Amino acid sequence: MSTARQIEIRRLRALEESFAVAPAGPEAGLFGPYLVTSPAGGNYHVEIRDLKRLRNACECPDLARSGLRTCKHIEAALHHLRRTRPLEVSRALAVPPDRPLVRFTEVDEARVRLDLPPGAPDALREEARAVFDESGGFSARLPEDFFRFYDRVQELGLELEIVEEVREHLADLEEDRTRAPAREAIYEELRSGTVRPSCSELVGRPVLVFDLETRREFTEVGGASRIQDLGISVAVVFDYRDRRHHYFEEDCASELADLLLGAERVIGFNLKAFDLPVLAGRASRDLSGVRALDLLEELERGLGWRVSLQNLLRSTLGLAKTGDGLEALKLHRLGEWDRLAGYCRDDVAATRGLFEYGREKGHVLIRDGRSEPPLRVPVSW
Ligand SMILES: [Zn+2]
């Protein structure tokens, strides 16, 4: 595995596991000791000495063994600094380039910028003016305007380097654009209730796929310990007995709970830590008897870290999630019930697609870096 890929894995783990990061010494500059705490409560002492992954320290065995000069704890601390202290970080990184270079701003990694050294040719400055603002930030449409600019630069025979991460990001955007119709076709098929032939033995059995959207977010109810107060805006169940999606509102929470309790198996993503506790808060039933298959839990057991549904859907099925939880909250507030229900149904459809793929092939796919081939994660559900 390439060094870049190994570093990318640690960077992704740092993002996907939610580490808490706090300065472990007197808060002065960016550099110094930090305490990085994992969701499971493990503490790691990290020393940040520079922002380019060269001289940082952590006490974990991974750093000592890997020879990479970074680990997920260091990456979590760097991510924390980029997010909470962007100005100081950008100042510390402000090293003038010696050649024309397109890269991401370090402050916000998804923003493309162009650095031109003092001696850059006028022709390049001229072309750049159409798509980059005065400070070098890209100000037009990605990726199409960038590609147009770059074609022109090449026609003129001008020297311009684009860092690998940006190339990959542009390629992803282009793929998203060109693949949108194909993605819609995959969703259409899943929505229609088509079951993979290899999973046809499930048809007619009380096997359910379940997801719900909430009325409120954690900050509105006083944090994760009040999960039972989030409420339900819509819940959707795909039932293998009739291969259809069924919709529920909060006032049917108890009927929904009975349906789940009576099922042979209830499939979902992050079901045990999220959907079931939310439902339990609104149904007068004890849900500990639900025979839940939580795909996130299964994958976390194999991988040792939490992977996002987004990553799984994209890598395994070529799907993009149609929105996120915040989008759903917005739709709920606007009273757009049909769109909200459609959004939740698409999540159920996609989760089922993932489940059936894993059941058929014995693995699902995740990507740990944009350019590398996806990783196969064995599953046995
Ligand atoms: Zn570490």
Which residues have CB less than 5 Å away from ligand 1 (the ion)? 58, 60, 63, 71, 73
- Quick one: pLDDT at residue 93? 73
As a whole number of angstroms, the distance between CA 10 and CA 74 comes to 9
Helix (H) or strand (E) holding 211: strand 207-214
Q: Which residues sit opposite 187 in a β-bridge?
A: none
In angstroms, the CA 153 to CA 156 distance is: 5
Sign of the four-CA dihedral 163, 4, 295, 315: positive
- Whole-number Å distance between alpha carbons of 170 and 168: 5
**d(CA 2, ligand 1 centre) in Å:** 19
Residue among 258, 368, 259, 349 at smallest CA distance from 307: 368
**Would you say 191 and 346 are in contact if contact means Cβ atoms under 8 Å apart?**
yes
Q: What is the mean pLDDT of each run of 10 residues along the chain (381 residues)?
A: 72 85 82 90 89 81 80 92 82 73 69 88 95 92 92 93 80 80 91 96 97 90 87 97 97 97 97 95 94 94 78 87 73 92 95 97 82 81 95
What's the CA-to-centroid distance between 376 and ligand 1, angstroms?
Answer: 25
Within 10 Å of residue 167's Cβ, how many Cβ atoms? 13
61 CA → ligand 1 middle, Å: 7
Name the 3-class secondary structure at 87.
helix
Assess contact for 21 and 36: CB atoms under 8 A: yes
Q: What is the pLDDT of residue 153?
A: 95
- As beta bridge partners, residue 294 has 268
Give the closest residue to 193 by CA, choosing from 345, 31, 15, 358: 345
Beta bridge partners of 301: none
Collapsing DSSP states into helix, strand and coil, what is residue 122? helix
Give this prediction's pTM.
0.64
107 within 8 A of 123, measured Cβ to Cβ: no
- Considering only CA atoms, which of 152, 166, 162, 164 is closest in space to residue 124? 152
Cα(73) to centroid(ligand 1), Å: 4
Which pLDDT value is given to residue 191? Answer: 96
Quick check: helix, strand or coil at residue 165? helix
Using the mean position of ligand 1's atoms as its centre, give its distance from the Cα of residue 93 in Å. Answer: 23
Query: Can you list the domains of the chain with their CATH numbers?
Result: 3-89 (no CATH), 96-168 (3.30.780), 195-378 (3.30.420.10)
What is the CA(44)–ligand 1 centre distance, in A?
Answer: 7
Q: What is the 3-state secondary structure (H, E, C) of 318-369?
A: CCCCCCCHHHHHHHHHHCCHHHHHHHHHHHHHHHHHHHHHHHHHCEEEECCC
Kindly state the tokens that stand for 380. Answer: 């046995």
Q: How far does the centroid of ligand 1 lie from the alpha carbon of residue 77, in Å?
A: 10
Centroid of ligand 1 to alpha carbon of 69 (angstroms): 10
- Strand partners of residue 245: 238
**Whole-number Å distance between alpha carbons of 257 and 183:** 32
pLDDT at residue 87, as a whole number: 78
Dist. CA 219 → ligand 1 center (Å): 30
How many A from CA of 43 to the centre of ligand 1?
10
CA 268/CA 275 separation, integer angstroms: 8
Strand, helix or coil for residue 246: strand
User: DSSP states of 25-63 as a string?
Assistant: S---SS-EEEEEE-TT--EEEEEE--SSSSS-EE-SHHH
Residue indicated by tokens 């076709």: 185
